């Protein structure tokens, strides 16, 4: 990957973060921490990896501001629609709704639904001979749902190597550290034991993410999972690595400071 | 004449599968138990074994349906409608996907296996799922019609399958999707029944005739959408409506009928009969039906009591 591409993907991630921050500041609340942690992953997938026919399922539906930001940057939706976030009748509610917004492949919100549905998409492609790939983005806290592991076993048994899961491992969930709440082993070991092929990368290094996704399937006949080590609240210093910013209600001073930090970050592309 | 429900289901599914290559059968280690073994044998490339993982299996069905297939998933009723309720609601219902969910053995069908396997809350739950059509067949002819209807209907469909073979009483059937089947006209009381209770209601009506009670019998293979027109028409001409279902009296077929009639100014009393709260007893099927007052004889006894109440 050229530096130019790296720069474009970093710019894409920055723009996604800008949509997230602006929308939450304008609306007064929103799932900020985990949308910010997956912005680089979405930039790489939407602007570097996915072909037009590929499918993206946001299993952790609460990260939807990142998806809305990516869709706005991709030109799939008009960015002004984000101004209606959470309002009555809005196409951009607090969890993504496929019946309301173009570009949302499947409605999500309750955790642990995406990987089973992704298995259905991947299986359908195997049955019809379609070449599309199915990407499923999950959180690390979400791995506590049993349905994730039902699907993990199925994908492995049925050799769904057209299925690529991503775990946005920001290490935090609502009540604290994922390691303290729901994580008995490393995801690498767990997915490996379920017969998946695993790659672990820095989830904010777009080059590393790009290379990992580009090499999927990592092994023929096996589903692939990218474990992306991320920082919750990435990009806004006072939000970083703090569980309390899972759902962010910015006061005036936080709003001003967050917008200032986004402005500061943007200077890089203004020369 | 009696027909084995699973055999009829299996044969019908096979015939429909031969005619429509978009139909995919999904099993939760239930292909043989639910009557899909022949389909699996003839169409292995369109058969999916998801194993004992109902939440995952419903998600897989949703994904397959989103990609243009028509999945039919059949397994023991509580495992699909209760364990995987949220997947049914979110991934199939709200997404309005073309998935056909077959509860293998509704009501007390697994009578000896206890409350974990009996299903007396499934209709209540499926009634709350957006876009869900609910079909409760009684015997072989109904099952064939229900399955054909399910594949003719775009969107999610729940079929509540009976398990015990039934004697076919009415030889002339008038099975139409969304329409009540008037199995016997009558002027004193209307018995509105669904699923296997449709047959028991006919037995009850014959018994009541001897006591001078002229009971109409209406069969509802389609519970949702409910044939409100026919229900309201009968409400205007009988002294009482009695609903009978092999299901909890809470939020099932009877509740749907009551909900339909509640706004009517002139209406007879509606008596909802079924299983009071939870399926707590275990035993041979017929004995269990009797215990809950759901055999023809017991339904007739109940109706005589109701008639007594009305005259008091």
For residue A61, the chain B residues in CB contact (below 8 A) are: none
Name residues whose C-beta falls within 8 Å of residue B27's C-beta, 6 or more positions apart in sequence.
B34, B36, B40, B47, B48, B49, B50, B57, B73, B74, B75
B60-97 pLDDT per residue, tens:
999 999 999 999 999 999 999 999 999 999 999 999 99
Rg of chain A in Å (alpha carbons):
18
The whole-number pLDDT of residue B306 equals 87
Q: Which residue has the tokens 């001003």?
A: A256
What mean pLDDT is predicted for residues B24-47?
Answer: 96
pLDDT of residue B312: 64
Q: Does A147 sit within 8 Å of B55, measured CB to CB?
A: yes
CA distance A193 to A187: 10
Find the domain containing A134 and state its range: 3-269
pLDDT of the residue at B277: 84
- Chain B residue closest in CA terms to A157: B50
| Nearest residue to A155 (alpha-carbon basis) of B26, B58, B50, B67 | B50
Mean pLDDT value across residues A233-262: 96
| Optimal mutation site among B59, B93, B129, interface A, most CBs of chain A within 10 A | B59
Of A55, A116, A148, A154, which to mutate for an interface test with B (greatest number of B Cβ within 10 Å)? A116
Q: CA angle at residue A19 from A16 to A25, to 5 degrees?
A: 140
Residues of B in contact with A99 (CB under 8 A): 94-96
User: Do B66 and A106 lie within an 8 Å CB cutoff?
Assistant: yes
Predicted local distance difference test score (pLDDT) of residue A172: 92
Task: Report pLDDT for B141.
Answer: 83
All structural domains of chain B: 2-166 (3.40.50.970), 174-311 (3.40.50.920)
Give the closest residue to B39 by CA, choosing from B23, B57, B62, B63.
B23
**How far apart, in whole angstroms, are the C-alpha atoms of residue A62 and residue A59?**
9
Contact of A162 with A132, CB cutoff 8 Å: yes
Please report residues of A whose CB lies closer than 8 A to that of B63: 116-124
Does residue B264 register a pLDDT over 70?
A: yes
Distance, in Å, from the CA atom of B273 to the CA atom of B189, rounded to the nearest integer, reads 14
pLDDT grade, residue B253 (50/70/90)?
very high
Structural domain count of chain A: 1
Stretch 154-193 of chain A: residues touching chain B, C-beta under 8 Å: 154
What residue of B is the nearest CA neighbor of A152? B56
Report the alpha-carbon distance of residue A263 to residue A255 in Å, rounded: 12
* B95-118 confidence digits (pLDDT tens): 999 999 999 999 999 999 999 999
What confidence category does residue A181 fall into, taking pLDDT thresholds of 50, 70 and 90?
A: very high
Please judge whether A120 and B64 are an interchain contact, meaning their C-beta atoms are less than 8 angstroms apart: yes
**Beta carbons of A120 and B67 less than 8 Å apart:** yes
Query: Please, which residues have CB within 8 angstroms of residue A241's CB and are 6 or more apart in sequence?
Result: A171, A172, A231, A232, A233
pLDDT greater than 70 at residue B171: no
pLDDT digits (tens, 9 = 90+) for B141-150: 889 999 999 9
CA B140, CA A75: separation in Å to the nearest integer?
Answer: 54
With an 8 Å Cβ cutoff, are B86 and A110 in contact? yes
Question: Which residues of B fall within a CB distance of 8 Å from A112?
Answer: 55
pLDDT, position B1: 66
ipTM of the complex: 0.96
**Domain CATH code at residue A141:** 3.40.50.970
Task: Report the C-alpha gap between B267 and B260 in whole angstroms.
Answer: 11
Secondary structure class of B260 (helix, strand, coil)? helix
Which pLDDT belongs to residue A205?
98
Q: What is the pLDDT of residue B173?
A: 81
């Amino acid at each position: 990957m050229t530096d130019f591409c790296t720069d474009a993907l970093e710019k894409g991630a920055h723009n996604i973060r800008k949509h997230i921050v602006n929308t939450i500041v304008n609306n007064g609340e929103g799932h900020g921490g985990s949308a910010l942690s997956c912005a680089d992953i979405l930039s790489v997938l939407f602007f570097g990896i996915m072909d037009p026919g590929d499918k993206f399922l946001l299993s952790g539906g609460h990260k939807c501001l990142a998806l809305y930001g990516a869709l706005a940057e991709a030109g799939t939706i008009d960015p002004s629609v984000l101004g209606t976030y959470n309002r009555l009748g809005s196409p951009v509610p607090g969890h993504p709704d496929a019946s309301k917004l173009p570009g949302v492949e499947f409605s999500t919100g309750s955790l642990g639904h995406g990987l089973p549905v992704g298995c259905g998409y991947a299986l359908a492609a195997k049955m019809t001979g379609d070449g599309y790939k199915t990407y499923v983005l999950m959180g690390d806290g979400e791995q506590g749902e049993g349905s994730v592991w039902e699907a993990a076993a199925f994908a492995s048994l049925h050799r769904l190597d057209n299925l690529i899961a991503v775990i946005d491992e920001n290490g935090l969930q609502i009540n604290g550290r994922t390691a303290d709440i729901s994580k008995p082993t490393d995801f690498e070991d767990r997915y490996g034991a379920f017969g998946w092929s695993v790659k672990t990368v820095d989830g904010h290094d777009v080059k590393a993410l790009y290379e990992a996704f580009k090499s999927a399937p990592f092994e023929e006949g096996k589903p692939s999972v990218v474990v992306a080590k991320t920082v919750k609240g990435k990009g806004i210093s006072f939000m970083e690595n703090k569980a309390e910013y899972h759902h962010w209600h910015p006061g005036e001073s936080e709003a001003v400071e967050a917008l200032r930090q986004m402005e500061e970050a943007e200077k890089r592309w203004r020369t | 004449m009696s027909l084995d429900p699973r055999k009829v289901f299996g044969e019908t599914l096979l015939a429909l599968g031969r005619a429509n290559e978009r139909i995919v059968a999904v099993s939760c280690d239930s292909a043989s138990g639910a009557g899909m073994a022949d389909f699996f044998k003839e169409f292995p490339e369109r058969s999916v074994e998801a194993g004992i993982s109902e939440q995952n299996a419903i998600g897989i069905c949703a994904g397959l349906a989103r990609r243009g297939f028509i999945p039919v998933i059949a397994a023991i009723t509580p495992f699909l409608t209760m364990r995987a309720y949220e997947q049914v609601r979110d991934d199939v219902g709200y997404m309005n996907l073309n998935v056909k969910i077959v509860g293998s053995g509704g009501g007390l069908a697994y009578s000896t296996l206890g409350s974990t396997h009996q299903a007396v809350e499934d209709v209540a739950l499926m009634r709350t799922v957006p876009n869900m059509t609910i079909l409760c067949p009684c015997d072989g002819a109904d099952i064939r019609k229900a399955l054909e209807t399910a594949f003719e209907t775009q969107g999610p469909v729940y079929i509540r399958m009976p398990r015990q073979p039934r004697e076919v009483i009415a030889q002339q059937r008038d099975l139409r999707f969304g329409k009540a089947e008037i199995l016997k006209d009558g002027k004193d009381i209307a018995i509105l029944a669904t699923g296997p209770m449709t047959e028991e209601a006919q037995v009850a009506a014959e018994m009541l005739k001897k006591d001078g009670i002229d009971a109409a019998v209406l069969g509802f293979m389609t519970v949702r959408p409910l044939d409100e027109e026919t229900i309201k028409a009968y409400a205007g001409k009988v002294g009482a409506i009695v609903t009978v279902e092999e299901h909890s009296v809470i939020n099932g077929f009877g509740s749907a009928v009551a909900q339909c009639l509640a706004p009517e100014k002139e209406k007879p009393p509606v008596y909802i009969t079924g299983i009071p709260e939870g399926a707590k007893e275990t035993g041979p099927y017929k004995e269990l039906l009797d215990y809950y007052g759901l055999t023809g004889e017991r339904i007739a006894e109940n109706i005589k009591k109701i008639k007594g109440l009305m005259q008091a």
